[in-house]
Amino acid sequence: MIGRSSSPPRFNRRAFLRASAALGLGAVASPAIVGEALSSSGELNYMGWSGYDFSALFAKFTDKTGIKINFIDQPDQDSMLAQARLAAQTSAADIAEPSIDRLPGWVDADLVQAWNDANVSLDSYDKAFLTASGMVKGRRFFLPIVWGTEALTYSVKEAPLVYGTASLADLFDPRYAGKVTLRAHSALAAMGRVLEAQGKLPKPWLDSYKDEASMRQLWDLALAEAIKHKANVVQFWSSENDAQSAFRTNGCTLGLTWDSTGLNLGPDGFGFIAPKEGAFGWLQGYVLLKAGKNVEQAHEWARFIATPEGSAAYATAFSANPTASGAIDLVDQKVRDFYHKAYPQDAESRIWWWPAQPAWFVALRSEYADKWRAA
């Protein structure tokens, strides 16, 4: 069983940009491939996120390698894990794409196997993302692909926010009654962090991720306070499509959403900004399923997506930040401009990385989210 490992390191994205530019693309060529022969045929069954268009990227990989990608889209991490359990009995999936804080649940369920370090081009990654959180007993179970945040999407006209005063507490402000969209469990964590900032918790909010007793004590307080403000919520979202439709069709003017939601809604008059408490940070990557049949093809995909070109193309499609060295220089300009605007001043150094969330925590977290939705 994996223990509660450290969160991804805090770092300054502007420094990361400068360092990547200084390296230049020629300095980040992938190392020689060893261990397994290059795949030139076959297929890869890839379980990933719905709501994004990866068709051009998949086509490029197929043209380069001859490997066909069968994409199995899932709306959220709980669904992805549940489907992986079913796939384990049929070998229906080879890789999946959780965030690193959810890795303990995959390991505890015995669904994953270690990647072959010699065959995944580790030198191509920015070392800040090859965190110890992805290692279990000295073996690598997680390969990073993109990182991003969950923060405040807002209507520029109806709910204007400015960095430094924009707060997670705005989500629960009565002036936004019937105008807010939230992901239930994330918003309960947001309420917990608000209560902590106000000095209303008996212990640090992070303690709720350490043991069940602390979790129940702190989440009971967050839930009770959140229920008082449920009139603010017009829709709970669970997927990228849900979040966008909350604003486009259900009249939301404010929400706690993924950064991709804020970027995609930009042309419709919405902005995205980090709250003064710090945006929720996530690091997403690949796990290799133990029941997967196409292991060689999975490693070839990992090598491809760790190149600057592959990493940048994926990050652009996902509206997030790449993890390969040099990739940020190739990301679409609108994505780079979006992140600069969303994280001004000290916002990047204040990112609050999601802690490791083992299976017992995720189960309880879901219970609390259900109680809030049903209240």
CA dihedral 251, 255, 257, 259 (to 10 degrees): 90
Residue among 108, 98, 102, 107 at smallest CA distance from 140: 107
- Cut 0.75: pTM above it: yes
Structure tokens at 57: 């990227």
CATH code for the structural domain at 13-147+282-350: 3.40.190.10
Whole-number average pLDDT of the chain: 88
The mean per-residue pLDDT over the stretch 96-100 comes to: 96
pLDDT of residue 129: 87
Structural domain boundaries in the chain: 13-147+282-350, 149-280+357-374
CATH code for the structural domain at 149-280+357-374: 3.40.190.10
126-169 confidence digits (pLDDT tens): 888 898 889 999 999 999 999 999 999 999 999 999 999 999 99
pLDDT at 30 over 90: no
Q: How confident is the model at residue 40 (pLDDT cuts 50, 70, 90)?
A: low
Return the higher-pLDDT residue of 294 and 21: 294
pLDDT at 104 over 50: yes
Residue among 362, 275, 339, 364 at smallest CA distance from 76: 362
- pLDDT > 70: percent of the chain: 89
- What is the rounded distance in angstroms from the CA atom of residue 160 to the CA atom of residue 208? 32
Q: How confident is the model at residue 329 (pLDDT cuts 50, 70, 90)?
A: confident
pLDDT of residue 91: 83
pLDDT of residue 340: 86
pLDDT at 350 over 80: yes
Q: Do domains 13-147+282-350 and 149-280+357-374 have the same CATH topology?
A: yes
Q: Quote the longest CA-to-CA distance of the chain.
A: 61
Q: How confident is the model at residue 295 (pLDDT cuts 50, 70, 90)?
A: very high
The mean per-residue pLDDT over the stretch 101-107 comes to: 94
CB 243 within 8 A of CB 136: no
User: How many other C-beta atoms can be found within 10 angstroms of the C-beta atom of residue 180?
Assistant: 26
pLDDT of residue 200: 98
Give the SS3 label for residue 64: helix
- What is the rounded distance in angstroms from the CA atom of residue 147 to the CA atom of residue 283? 4
Q: How far is the CA of 350 from the CAs of 126, 161, 341, 353, in angstroms?
A: 20, 18, 15, 9
Structure tokens at 16: 């990361």
